[in-house]
Amino acid sequence: MVSYMDFTSPDVQFTYDLKNNNFFTKDSRNLINALGIQQLNTLGNTSVLDIYLSRGNVIEPHIHQNASELVYCISGSAVVSLINPFTKELLNLPITPGQVANVPQGWWHYEVAGEDNTHLLAIFDAPVPEFIGGSDLLRLTPASIFAHTYCLNEAMVKETLAPITDTVVIGPPNGCAGGKSADSKGYTGYGMVPGYYNQPAEQAYPSYYAPQYQAQAGPYAPQQRYYSIWER
């Protein structure tokens, strides 16, 4: 994108306080502030999401159809998970302060906070990153289509998806009664995997805790194959 900003204009902007543009707030510890060209007219082909999460909270599965995303960990820790559409692999990328994970444009991905006071900065190569959330795909696609396409029980699909009435953005929603909350005592440190509650992470993901991973991995247990960001 070429910038045609008139830098002699009296309206030219060079600074902005992200607290003035809240994108989404779940509660005081889980929120997202945004910066795009609407807020800072000299920004050009870049935009930013300033993300705050407490332990176990999830930026819901989603895609950015118009932008790649670089996730930088400022404090706390997170696992950035993405599906490689070419290899059909789920990649789980743990990041701690000073580390990044890259999500190519249009790839399905999500982020899970590994501890309280996690602060992430998501940087995009577009002036306004577009967002398609998994919650919207699930709630707006007729249950009959899911049932027919995948040979499912339509009544059970409707019942399962009925609680999703809006875009989630940061999950689980407040007051979630469908399972353990993000701060549940049994949470293993890697998001909401059925069957892994109330187990030490070493038991839930034994291969991750092999000695060769301990020095570089941190306290995160991937659901599928482990990829060290130092090997990429």
Look-up of token digits 């941190």: 218
The DSSP 8-state label assigned to residue 23 in this structure reads E
Domain ranges within the chain, ordered by starting residue: 1-132+180-212
Q: What is the pLDDT of residue 44?
A: 87
pLDDT in tens, 62-121: 999 999 999 999 999 999 999 999 999 999 999 999 999 999 999 999 999 999 999 999
- The pTM (predicted TM-score) of the whole model is 0.76
Tens-place pLDDT, residues 158-181:
999 999 999 999 999 988 865 454
Structure tokens at 155: 């009544």
Q: How confident is the model at residue 6 (pLDDT cuts 50, 70, 90)?
A: confident
Domain 1-132+180-212 has CATH 2.60.120.10: yes
Q: Which long-range contacts does 26-32 make (Cβ < 8 Å, 24+ apart)?
A: 26/57, 26/169, 26/170, 26/173, 26/174, 27/174, 29/53, 29/54, 29/116, 29/117, 30/54, 30/57, 30/170, 31/170, 32/59, 32/169, 32/170
Q: Give the pLDDT score at 228.
A: 28
Tokens read off for 225 = 């194959």
- 31-66 per-position pLDDT tens digit: 999 999 999 999 889 999 999 999 999 999 999 999
Q: Which two tokens stand for residue 173?
A: 């929603």
Single-letter code of the amino acid located at 63: I
